[in-house]
Chains A and B, each alone.
Chain A
Amino acid sequence: MTQAEQILKKADRLRRELPRNFRDEMVQSLYDEAERIARRAVQEREGRSYDLDQKIDRIVTSPIFGLPIMLLLLALVIWITVIGANYPSEWLANGLFWFENQAATLFERWGAPWWLTGFLWHGVYRGLAWVVSVMLPPMAIFFPLFTFLEDLGYLPRVAFNMDWLFKKAGAHGKQSLTMAMGFGCNAAGVVATRIIDSPRERLIAILTNNFVPCNGRFPTLIMLGTIFVAANFPPALTSFVAAGSVVAIVMIGVFFTLLISWLLSRTVLKGEASAFTLELPPYRRPNLGRILYTSLIDRTIFVLWRAITTAAPAGAVIWLLANISVGGVSLAQHIAGFLDPLGWLIGLDGVILLAYIIAIPANEIVVPTMLMVYLGTGMMIDLPWDQLGVILVEQHGWTLLTAINLMLFALLHNPCATTILTIYKETGSKKWATFSVVITLGTAFLVTFLTASLARAFGWV
């Protein structure tokens, strides 16, 4: 018998000699002691603001008002972003593309070969310009607002309002917290699942985290809502329609989080939901300096930098695809044509799918990529920012279905490369990492296929 086995045997013998509930008694006396000490050290004065916290919580976490308040706040934040980001985006785009033309003209005057000018300025630089003008303004508005709510202590209330839904779905109630963190960053949400102690429920939380849009995808969704969905409505309504469509998309994301959690807990990850307590931290006056630091340095610059480092090569790839011709037709058009039937099936088109493939490393750049493919392949010549939606409708057969399905696809499709890597690291399994891609991509194709088929069956498009 090894030394370890001897120790265990002795422990078993000693345990039998002790009273059955010796440890419970120890824990109980510890709690009693804590209570005694705390009572001696803390005196309560007449509290006024203490009650205020509780009063606020009674409203924002009430069964009746909790969810509507949540949705209203979300709508407000997005609406402010939509209103505030539109003009800066246009100015940035005009300025950056003006620079592209100046630089390209200068290169030509210096006698630089056409392919060098094209590759550098109409490829790499244009990729950067698109990402900066499309993503920077919404991020600079959305992130501080989001961080403000986070700092205030509102996000745990969001989780509190929804934990019962997760329990119903056979998942852990704390998944509502990791889901809420996924709104910040899905990779972070996946890491955050460490607070869930049951491995089964933790896996469910990991696999479904990507169904809520992260901070990287919010600008994409906001822009899709603004330029494409709202373009189908009268100008007076655009900002409301845009905000409303993004809120609807978020609700759909939560719905799929719950649905897939439920399906997983009924099939491959069977089991009972475990009990837990969720703690509501006190409200704290947010620190303005820290909000700006976190949202602008940590988040905006971080996300933008990541986008830029993938957009530059993406721009290069697109330019090459558009300028290398086989049989008189550019490679981009060949590929887009090849993908068209699949794209049509799910209410999109070949160009959009090509953009998704190019944007795999960081799929928040998919819309800039898509616009670049339309532009770079000579399919769209000029760039009137305010009429982007109209032009897509007129020149490329875009419909409301295309816009909605694009939003759905952007919401549901596979996690970004960082998140997939994080899932692999957290689960230690290639199988689960692959599975996370399969279920998200599968859901995205299935849902968009269904909406496209339904819309066509009813003759809406």
Chain B
Amino acid sequence: MNDHCATCAAFNQLEQMGLTLDDFDRVVALAGNPNTGKSTLFNALTGLKQHTGNWPGKTVTRAEGGFEFNGVRYKLVDLPGTYSLLSASQDEEVARDFILFGQPDCVIVVTDATALERNLNLVLQVLEITDKVVVAVNMMDEARRKGLDVDPRALARDLGVPAVPISARTGEGLSALLRTMAEVIEGQIRTQPRRVHGTPAFQRAVAELAAEIEAAIPGIPNARWVAIRLLDGDERVRQALLNDEFPQLIARQRQADVRFSNKISLEGRQ
């Protein structure tokens, strides 16, 4: 599928563009559990100094930065950590709304190699709603220190999407990650995400409801997810539908609203 060439110097193809976001070709989101190193990866790729730290819950707002790789300009969106797409606290909602309604060209799910099982819950949930996923298996150095052998090939095979071992702090594996990301976006890598489907009756119900939602709100991404939440009786999603909040919600994700700023990184501290 792809060769993880960790030694070649593809890094010189990366150009950190900091806050230059005027004219980007692709949008990439960084998702993942809290404290898996999303902001560290964000800084490594954009050259910005989003405050990072060994602390779950550092990032509570969305930070945006830019980089160029092989001549393509990317907007990178650093999201707050979240354990699940079902959760309710405000920081997690920011992450969930962007993954669902921000229509990123690719979601990089950053996972902690030392706590893979817990991290995979979110990966599987993201796989439920989008094909364009790359799993970054971060903290490989720490996993080695802890005596864990993590096999990204087995992971990629089971998940049906690429899994790239990286260590965001040292920069190990970043060029392979970017190459894989580009190939997924451009369709050179065809993903076949593993999906947990549920019973046939459930699938039928979801499909039926999703079709109606799509008819009612033209252009809504992830109508399936909305359908599942409605079947589940999620009160907030019901209200959002009744008050016609979805078009606004989608529009809000497209605005370059919460750009990276020193103020946010300090006060969101972060």
Contacts and interface: CB of A to CB of B under 8 A. Distances in A.
A310 interface: no
B231 A23 contact: yes
Nearest to A174: B57
Given A42-B148, A279-B56, A3 B216 contact: yes
A29 B146 CA distance: 29
Interface stretch (B18-26, B67-75, B196-204, B250-258): B196-204
Interface stretch (B7-15, B175-183, B185-193, B261-269): B261-269
Interface residues of A, number: 70
Identify the interface centre among A152, A185, A279, A293: most chain B CB within 10 Å of its CB.
A279
A7 B52 CA distance: 43
B89 interface: yes
Main secondary structure of the interface of A (DSSP, over half): helix
Given A15-B233, A151-B54, A185-B267, A192 B60 contact: yes
Contact of A18 (B147, B212, B231): B231
A13 B227 CA distance: 13
Contact of B57 (A7, A33, A195): A195
A18 B202 contact: yes
A22 B242 contact: no
B151 A43 contact: yes
B57 A188 contact: no
Contact of A7 (B151, B155, B241, B269): B241
A30 B126 CA distance: 12
B266 A194 contact: no
Main secondary structure of the interface of B (DSSP, over half): helix
Contacts, number: 189
A294 B262 CA distance: 12
A31 B86 CA distance: 14
Given A23-B232, A41-B152, A188 B270 contact: yes
Given A7-B230, A22-B199, A177-B57, A14 B269 contact: no
Given A47-B148, A194-B91, A4 B242 contact: yes
Contact of B55 (A18, A34, A40, A155): A155
B53 interface: yes
Contacts of B149: 42-45
A279 B154 CA distance: 27
B196 A10 contact: no
B199 A422 contact: no
Interface string A43-61: 1111111100100000000
Contact of B241 (A4, A47, A196): A4
A287 interface: yes
A263 B107 CA distance: 45
Contact of B121 (A7, A30, A41, A153): A30
B249 interface: no
Nearest to A47: B147
Interface string B210-242: 001100100000000001101111000010011
B244 A4 contact: yes
Interface in A1-41: 3-8, 10-11, 14-15, 17-19, 22-23, 25-26, 29-31, 33-41
Interface of A: 3-8, 10-11, 14-15, 17-19, 22-23, 25-26, 29-31, 33-50, 53, 150-153, 155-156, 177, 181, 184-185, 187-188, 191-192, 194-197, 279, 281-284, 287, 290, 293-294, 298, 302, 418, 422
Interface of B: 34-35, 49, 51-57, 60, 87-91, 113-114, 116-118, 120-121, 123-125, 142, 145-152, 154-155, 158-159, 169, 194, 196, 198-199, 201-202, 205, 208-209, 212-213, 216, 227-228, 230-233, 238, 241-242, 244, 265-270
19 contacts: A8-B241, A14-B205, A14-B209, A18-B201, A26-B202, A36-B158, A38-B120, A43-B149, A44-B149, A49-B146, A53-B146, A156-B54, A191-B269, A279-B34, A281-B35, A281-B55, A282-B146, A287-B169, A294-B53
